[in-house]
Amino acid sequence: MTQQHHWRKTILVASLIFGMFFGAGNLIFPVQLGQLAGANWLPATLGFLVTGTLVPFLAMLAVSVTRSRGVYDIAKPVAPWFGTLFLVMLHLTIGPFFGTPRTAATAFSMGVAPFLPGSLQTGGMFIFLLCFLA
């Protein structure tokens, strides 16, 4: 492997790991979490650190220790059908179940909701979601 190729690969992997550990939620959510937690800031902080840092780190560790190519290879030893089901459910959770509705709701709340009176918010969101998802 050439030296330049090695550095490109290292920078790529480092940026992917950074993106996994430090998404937009890790920038905005802790502040809101701290405000809402009040006197219970310590358990809230520990919970956030476990779910926002430790769990992704353990996932990376599991893939690297088992020398798996991905999630399917980790789940396949349970049963081949389980590996497939787990991977399909994982992709559905990331995309259509959470990611897409969150994107649409954020676009509505930032771009349309400020211009609608409170009485039209529900209907406006329904119409917006139909157009957005189409």
Give the dihedral sign, CA 62/63/64/67: positive
Sole residue written with tokens 């358990």: 43
Single out the residue of 51, 52, 30 nearest to residue 41, CA to CA. Answer: 30
pLDDT > 80? residue 21: no
Check pLDDT > 70 for residue 24: no
- C-alpha radius of gyration, the chain, whole number: 20
DSSP 117: -
Nearest to 66, CA basis, from 53, 57, 75: 75
- What would the mean pLDDT of 12-34 be, rounded to a whole number? 78
Q: Name residue, tokens 């980790």.
A: 74
Return d(Cα 26, Cα 98) in angstroms, integer: 17
Kindly indicate the confidence band of residue 115, based on its pLDDT and cuts at 50, 70 and 90: very high
- CB-based contact 59:75 (threshold 8 Å): no
Evaluate whether 13 touches 7 at the Cβ level (below 8 Å).
no
Q: Provide the percentage of residues in the chain whose pLDDT is more than 70.
A: 95
Residue 2's pLDDT band, with cuts at 50, 70 and 90, is low
Q: Could you give the count of Cα atoms lying within 13 Å of 87 in the half-sphere of its Cβ?
A: 15
Domain residue extents for the chain: 1-65
Instruction: Say what the pLDDT of residue 5 is.
Output: 76
Quick check: 128 pLDDT over 90? yes
Confidence of residue 55 (pLDDT cuts 50, 70, 90): confident
Higher-pLDDT residue of 106 and 23 is 106
